[in-house]
Amino acid sequence: MGAYVKTAMLMAAMTALFMGVGWLIGGSGGAVIALVVAGLMNLFTWWNSDRAVLRMHNARPVTEAEAPAYVGMVREMCARNGMPMPACYIIDTDQPNAFATGRNPQNAAVAATTGLLRRLSPEELAGVMAHELAHIRNHDTLIMTITATFAGAISMLANFALFFGGSRERMGLVGTLALMILAPLAAALVQMAISRAREYEADRVGAEICGQPLWLAAALEKIQGFAARIDNPAAERNPATAHMFIINPLHAHAHDKLFSTHPNTANRVAALVEMAGGRTAGRAPAPAASSIPRTRRAARRGPWG
């Protein structure tokens, strides 16, 4: 219930920000129009935002027959932790990364890139998917998707301000330009405040789900290294969704570096190493015989099974 209360508060805050931008652009009429649009967006976000985000990144659904190592691993961790099985998607991009989405655990999805499936070991992949399952268990997915949807809409609306005569008359050219900069900035600050704390918590819960904090620690270090030099074109076109990924996918454009929606990777790794009793993240112990058997069998045939 607490998660739904937080979601309602977030939707109210983002709606108020959206209305404020509408008022600055079009006065009271603009605020009313923005309120109507925000109401429709809230409904759309609640029911369809997961599919919208998956489409933004050209994610395609896969079955266990198509990707047995990946889907089987997710299925087993869900079964061990009493969670509903989410839909599994694959994103065809070389940058290793992953995210989760959905309005609740019963209507959730996880998405992994082909780069993630190719470049990570089975243990590291288990750590990443456990992190995404933690977001689903914590009801983070709806909140993260709402912020992505509203941040994108606020940025788009602010960029239109220059073309509305009412905003130029009300605020002047300088004020209109300031609105175009500050409104997306405010939305980005909301994303930052939400995302950073939730990433630490998802790391902690994810380590508990897979049972090995060092698997996730090693995965974070590896993903950070690859993501810093491999582009993710879909994420660059939709920067408002960056906070949904396990590691920030943006680096190709300078403006992406102004604000970070993710905690420092080294700090996340240090917290996971501390959970593991101080052992080095790069020296994760071998998994128990009963741990992720599907993944270990599939590892001999490659990450696609």
Q: Which residues are catalytic?
A: 132
CA angle 302, 303, 305 (to 5 degrees): 70
DSSP state of 86: P
Task: Pull the structure tokens for residue 10.
Answer: 């977030």
Using a 10 angstrom Cβ sphere, with 0-12 exposed, 13-18 middle and 19 or more buried, the burial of residue 178 is middle
Q: For residues 140 and 133, what is the distance between their CA atoms, to the nearest angstrom?
A: 10
> What whole-number distance in Å separates Cα of residue 208 and Cα of residue 23?
47
3-state secondary structure of 277: coil
> Would you call 110 helix, strand, or coil by DSSP?
strand
Distance CA 148, CA 45 (A): 10
Give the neighbor-by-neighbor strand order of the sheet with 107-113: 59-61, 87-91, 107-113, 98-104
Whether the CB-CB separation of 113 and 95 falls below 8 Å is answered with: yes
Residue 296's Cβ-count burial label (10 Å; 0-12, 13-18, 19+) is middle
For tokens 């509408």, what's the residue? 22
